[in-house]
Structure 1
Amino acid sequence: MPFTIATRVSFEEEIKKSRFQAYATPVETEQDVKDFLALYKDTSTTHQCWAWKIGHHVRFNDDGEPSGTAGRPILATIEGNELTNVLVLVNRWYGGIKLGTGGLVRAYGGCAGQCLLLAEKIELIEKKQVSFSCLFNEWAIFQYEMQQQGIEFQEDYTAEGVTVLAKLQIHQIEALAKKIQDVTRGREQLHILDEELPDAG
């Protein structure tokens, strides 16, 4: 059973006058990764190194540190904790003392590891992207239903009514599909969309 982390956590330490600051956050898509990195872009740092894993897809970035000394150890820490759908960013402010390649690997991997130790591990619940349409007068019923179940959704108003995109946990699909058939008297049905992440290639 795959695990992710419940919420964003951070950890900070000083190693030979360099300050290291790690953030770990749950992510579901590459867009989540981009949004987080944009939000935490910090020009005062010497390096902002990161790694993420979503399903079987991984990426890492050394951001100017010697190749293999930052991003890869961060990724190894994510995988060592058997986590997925996680991004870890480690910022470094250089303090004037070189750490050497072994020191850098230990610093980045260690800081990422300490940060992940603070995170609550939770079971990763698989979600499916679904879509359905309804008339304006039916929308309030579905909106209420989805809010009650904590379902993420976004609606798009058209001339004919409302088109809805939602992310459902597997066990929620059948009940919503039945509700749609009941409320629309069989006129509409729930469509499951296959959302594949682009291949890391």
Structure 2
Amino acid sequence: MPFTLATEVFYEEDIKKSRFQAIAAPVESEQDVKDFLEKHLDGSTTHQCWAWKIGHNVRFNDDGEPSGTAGRPILATIEGNELTNTIILVNRWYGGIKLGTGGLVRAYGGCAGQCLLLTEKIELIEKKDVQFECWFSEWAIFQYELNQHNIEFTEQYHAEGVIVSARLQRHQIVPLAEKIQHVTRGRETLKVMDEHND
């Protein structure tokens, strides 16, 4: 069963005069990854090494450290904890003492691992993108329904009414589909997007 992180967490430690800071966070898309890395871009660091995993996609970056000594150990920590939809960034401020390749692997992997001990792991619930349309007169009912269940959504207005896009957990799909059938008296149906993606 894959897990993800409940919240973003920080961990810091000094190793042979170098300061290491790990930041771990949940991500759902490559755009989330980009936003996270931009938010934590820090010109004062010597290296900003990271790894992320979303579903079957993985990426890692050694940011100038010797190949395989930073990004890969961070990724190994993510996978060793059965995590997905997770990014870990480890910042290093060089303190003047070289750690050697083994020392770097232990420092980056260890710092990432300690960071994960501070966070709560939650079971990853797969979400699906859905879309439906309704009349303006029906929108208040659906808006209330979506808010009641903490469903993230966006609405787009057009001449005939509202086009609603939302992200649902699997168990929310059937109840919402039934609600749409009921409120629109069978006129509208819930469309589940990208059904072929895993």
Q: Settle same-fold status: TM greater than 0.5.
A: yes
Show the counterpart of 1:70: 70
Show the counterpart of 1:125: 125
Show the counterpart of 1:135: 135
Show the counterpart of 2:8: 8
Query: What amino acid is aligned across from residue 115 of structure 2 in structure 1?
Result: C
The Cα of 1:111 is off from its aligned counterpart by: 0.2
The Cα of 1:195 is off from its aligned counterpart by: 6.8
Show the counterpart of 1:164: 164
Query: What amino acid is aligned across from residue 95 of structure 1 in structure 2?
Result: G
Correspondence list, 1:1-201, <5 A: 1-194=1-194
Structure 2 Cα separation of the partners of residues 11 and 156 of structure 1:
41
How many residues align? The count is: 198
Q: What's the Cα RMSD here?
A: 1.4
Structure 2 Cα separation of the partners of residues 173 and 151 of structure 1:
11
Percent of aligned pairs with the same amino acid = 78
TM-score (norm 2): 0.97
Structure 2 Cα separation of the partners of residues 43 and 133 of structure 1:
47
Structure 1 Cα separation of the partners of residues 92 and 171 of structure 2:
43
The Cα of 1:159 is off from its aligned counterpart by: 2.0
The Cα of 1:196 is off from its aligned counterpart by: 7.1
Consecutive unaligned residues in structure 1, runs of 5 or more: none
Structure 2 Cα separation of the partners of residues 99 and 149 of structure 1:
50
The 3-state SS of whatever aligns with 1:25 is: strand
- Following TM superposition, where does structure 1 have runs of at least 4 consecutive aligned residues deviating by more than 3 angstroms? none
1:110-130 per-position Cα deviation (integer Å, ceiling 9, x unaligned): 000000111101111111110
